A and B are shown apart, each in its own frame.
Chain A
Amino acid sequence: MDATRFLAENVLNERRTVTYRSLSRALKVHAHRAKQILFEFHRIENAKKPQSVHATYLISGIQNPPEPPATNGHANDEDAIMQSSPYLPSSMPNQEVTSDQVRIASVIIAREEDLEDAKATFQSISMIHVYSVQPSTLQDLNTLTDVCREMATAHAQDDPLECGPQWGMIQNRNVKRRTGARPPPARAAAPAPKAKLESTVPAKRTLPTKAAPAKLESKPEDSQPASDSQSSVKSTGKPAAPKREKSNLFSSFAKTKPPKPKPTESATQSAAEDVMLDDASEEEQEELFPDSGDKVPSAVREGKKEREEKLKKMMEDDDADDEEMADADEELQREPTPEEQPPPPPPKPAELKEEVTVQDGRRRGKRQVMKKRTVKDAEGYLVTREEATWESFSEDEPAPPKKKPAVNVAKAKTGKPGGQGSIMSFFGKK
């Protein structure tokens, strides 16, 4: 059975803790059934090999009044309270100080070994079920929390409003959720690695990608051998991720908060915030790795598809920026294509870059440039690191491309960004 295999893999092989809720989410079964599955698994496995699987149980019911062990209870001796409260002389009109009459139900989690002890503290037990199974006794029950968090992360893309019935969640007919400007369940963005990638590459950065590919395609004579482009295409998905990690690492050196600790959360970040954070870290990174001139023109093409995808997604997601994006797009496509064609694509990447930027400067505009580094390693494989950088150029600062990208380029309209960008890069330089 599927469930048994899942449990065997996770608990026995990978030695992880599985709670009834993580099981319920993973297999999309009702929570109640998940509890039964866990119980069955625990029973069967221990029958095969005793002590191979340990369980924790959840007990609910009414506990015995004295000293509920599970809580750091306050003062069980009511009399003492009465005596020691001379502050306000008794004025309760009807003696309904009812703390002892109130029904106190308890929900207690206990390890397998403590189950009988725990049961003994209950006056009446209304329910027991298996809460989790794990390969060994839990030293600290609080580690179950981590399982829950992992579960929330792993299944973040499930919309609780849709999947709730499957899990056995209590439904609410009246729930109101906004589906407005912001994509509401941003956590539902994508499975982990992809989400990370997307979040760290801010919306605006993806814009030029469309332009860049376009211009490359328009070139009739591409100096790049086919094999290269192939390899670069292949490498699109994979190399991006490690690179991102690296950028995180550096950005943390730079005292910037890495975009987000968890992939799911990162996706929820509003685009604007991400742009800012990321630009900051990007900037830093640029400093740490000055241009070594080992760029390959085809690098621009790498990750094209990926970026197009992202672009599409961003276009869908980010309504607010729609207009700007469209503008920029148009501009970029209009401008670069004719300009790019005359200069034959130089074999050296650095040259290409310079060319582009110089032209930009003359064309009194801003230009977003994709910088990619493809390093040939010892075996002759191309290892690609993409670094998409936005640079803005105005008349004031012409030819030599600034290493540091202006932060606000993408957002700002044509005139302004130059000034802002230069100020930022000035500060960044320090």
Chain B
Amino acid sequence: MASAEDYGFLRPPSNDEYEPVYRKPSAYNPLQTFTLPMGSVRHYQQQYGDMYFLRLAKLKPAVEKVATDAWGELTVAGESARRVDRVLDVRQGELCWMAGTVYMDMPLKPNILEDLTRETFTSAPPPRRTYADPSNPSATQVMMEDESGRIRLTGNLLASTQLATGVIIAALGTETVNGEFEVIDFKVPDLAPQPQRWERGEAAAAASEQSGQDVSKGSGKIAFLSGLGITGTSSDTLALELLTDYLLGYTSIDGSDAASRITRLIIAGNSLGASVTADTASAGSDNAAKKKLAPKKYGYDASAYNSSPITQLDNFLAEILPSIPVTLMAGEKDPANVSLPQQGIHRAMFPQSRAYCAPPPSGENKEEVGWFDSVSNPWEGDVEGWRLWGCSGQNVDDVLRYLDFPSDDTDPTAERDDSEARLRIMEAMLRWRCGVPTAPDTLWSYPFQTVDPFVLETSPHIFFTGNQPSFKTAVIEADAPLRLDGDVEMTDSSGETPTGRVRLLSIPKFKETGELILVDTESLEVEVIRFGNFAGQEEKK
């Protein structure tokens, strides 16, 4: 074996000198879009209505422009479609169009009023797979609202369309005798303008060009990862060890130093395993009485808190940080606030890795970007000049619950393969220009007062979502508008100049798939590296 193919390693030790390998530098410029004000400036007393108002104010002009282009000249049976400013101004029998916010009333949607009456409002709603009631599809109502009021939407079109609360659309149709609005067609804002690469910080671009010269030529790679799900037991981390080896260059895929081209690792949430919080919660309720009697001690109660997962995560980060900069997004299961935008996991959780954090802001000095950056979820920023927008997965998961699953599902427990739908939801979000449309309705959110950060004012180059069941990717372009109605009319893409291409990434849970996603920094091509062990005879015994 050794004589035939030794791959350089299946042979006796040689005296080769190994040249040190240097990693390509990372150009990194995060945006603070989702950073909440600190301390006493952060209030929770505001009404959520402001967010919808802001969203509508921001997106209405965009969707009205799209609608005017499409329907401005439209006449049906001699009647021209009239634009109505407010939904309450719609006249019966008159062909018109209007723009507003979609609100969907679904039977199984968590309802704050119900919760209040039952006094269960203090705990998170139980997770549901869907808010629709499969046995009673008609219970789902779609409404459109604006500053003036609400009107119920009907029509066959809606049955074949998927929308979610919080989406801004323009709808064309007429009011029926029942006072409902029968929708013939509708438009969404479509992709927001996309910034040029290196739009922010040409200096950084130049710097990376220069420093790129003395390093090896060629494009870099951005690595994406999500759902590490570290539980602190030995069962979950062999793949993690292999990943560490790979990122640090101890193991290479093809003998080359490909790993050194990875300039940055982005971890999209759920770095800790589910059992951490769940077990703690249950243990907490069981021991509640006992705990009160126990004398107060400093530190935490070892019986109720297991520090092992976060310690393992810290070890992992501390091991790779000397070689690769890391952006760590908070996730659903991470020790961060629950409501979106989740703020970064505090550096105090990482006694070892925090040495690589940026120093805490002192006085007037603007906080500099850390080598290890614990960021919010969702998060927006520039990496290698590309604009990235990502979420740890709650946005897609929640919109999926609005979708109408086939009711003939015989086995409700079966894991449905909805990865395609998830990718389409991501596309829809970009075209809705709203990254988290269902906040603050069914996703907990900070009550923003002056700005709705979930509105995508610019389209990112890479739009990623973490913690998805499987890896998927696609490229969408702005010149082919989303036709949610299922109309397969092909727009002439050659006639228009595309305003942008967006790479969609649905990042799988590493814990389940062992997959690391690499995106080329020049071509935005994607590749996957899968880590695992071979289930051999020992397992089959």
Contacts and interface: CB of A to CB of B under 8 A. Distances in A.
A401 interface: no
B480 A94 contact: yes
Given A89-B484, A105-B528, A167 B323 contact: no
Contacts of A99: 471-473
A428 B13 CA distance: 62
Nearest to B428: A88
A69 interface: yes
B27 to A, nearest CB: 10
A65 interface: no
Contacts of A74: 417, 419, 469-470, 508, 513
Interface string B406-444: 100000000011111101110110000000000000000
Interface string A275-308: 0110110000000000000000000000000000
A128 B22 contact: no
A168 interface: yes
Given A91-B484, A146-B234, A276-B299, A40 B12 contact: yes
A169 B352 contact: no
Contacts of A254: 297
A174 B298 contact: no
Given A74-B417, A85-B418, A175-B371, A127 B254 contact: yes
Given A58-B242, A129-B10, A160-B322, A117 B536 contact: yes
Contacts of B532: 68, 70-71, 106-109
Interface stretch (A182-190, A213-221, A347-355, A368-376): A182-190
Interface of B, secondary structure class, is loop
B43 interface: no
Contacts of A331: none
Given A74-B508, A252-B302, A167 B14 contact: no
A362 interface: no
B323 to A, nearest CB: 5
A24 to B, nearest CB: 8
A50 to B, nearest CB: 15
Interface residues of A, number: 122
The A interface, classified by DSSP as helix, strand, loop or mixed, is mixed
Interface stretch (A26-34, A225-233, A239-247, A386-394): A26-34
A104 interface: yes
Interface of B: 2, 5, 7-14, 16, 18, 20-23, 25-26, 160, 162, 234-235, 237-238, 240-242, 245-255, 257, 259-260, 294-303, 307-308, 311, 315, 318-319, 321-325, 351-352, 355-357, 359, 370-371, 403-406, 416-421, 423-425, 427-428, 469-477, 479-480, 482-486, 488, 491, 493, 508, 512-515, 526-538
Interface of A: 3, 20-21, 24, 30-33, 35-37, 39-40, 43, 58-61, 63, 68-75, 80-82, 84-94, 96-99, 102-111, 113-114, 117-118, 121, 125-130, 137-146, 148-149, 152, 160-161, 164-165, 167-180, 182, 184-187, 252, 254-258, 261, 265, 268-270, 273, 276-277, 279-280, 407, 427-428, 430
5 contacts: A39-B10, A70-B535, A98-B474, A106-B532, A126-B254
